[in-house]
Amino acid sequence: MELQALEKHWQEMGFEVAANMAEWRRQHPKARLREIETTLDQQLAKLRAKMLEEAALMSAVRDWDKTGEAPCCPNCGEALEARTMAVRQLQTHGGEMIALERRYGVCPKCGHGFFPSG
């Protein structure tokens, strides 16, 4: 997704969170501050996770084999050999799950395999 389209998409998601909160507030007119805060935090955690996932999927690092710049093994410093693309499930600080497709790599020297971050 192009950066400009992504920005518009994120704005729309922000408006959706605001609309969801307004509707929730209409349904819970006697909610106390703690309830409002908890609901807002849940909504924002979902928005944050989606934005994080989409931003990470735009990174050139996700398929480093195409960039010609292989990451180095953290154990021995050797350049990684590219393997398959695979999806990793990660949990955000807000407890939401995100799915990131990444190129897996293996060190030809020590055999250490992992998904480079980025």
Query: What integer best gives the mean pLDDT of the chain?
Result: 92
pLDDT of residue 65: 82
- Tens digits of residue pLDDT in 38-57: 999 999 999 999 999 999 88
**Together in a domain, 1 and 25:** yes
The answer to whether 45 touches 89, Cβ cutoff 8 Å, is no
- Tens digits of residue pLDDT in 4-22: 999 999 999 999 999 999 9
Cα 7–Cα 13–Cα 16 angle in degrees, nearest 5: 150
pLDDT of residue 24: 98
**Together in a domain, 65 and 36:** no
pLDDT at 94 over 80: yes
Tokens representing residue 17 in the block? 């969170």
pTM: 0.78
Reported confidence tier of residue 118, pLDDT bands at 50, 70, 90: low
**Together in a domain, 110 and 71:** yes
Residue-number span of the structural domain to which 72 is assigned: 61-118
Number of domains in the chain: 2
pLDDT at 72 over 80: yes
- Residue 115 falls in which region: left (phi positive, over 0), alpha (psi -120 to 50) or beta: beta
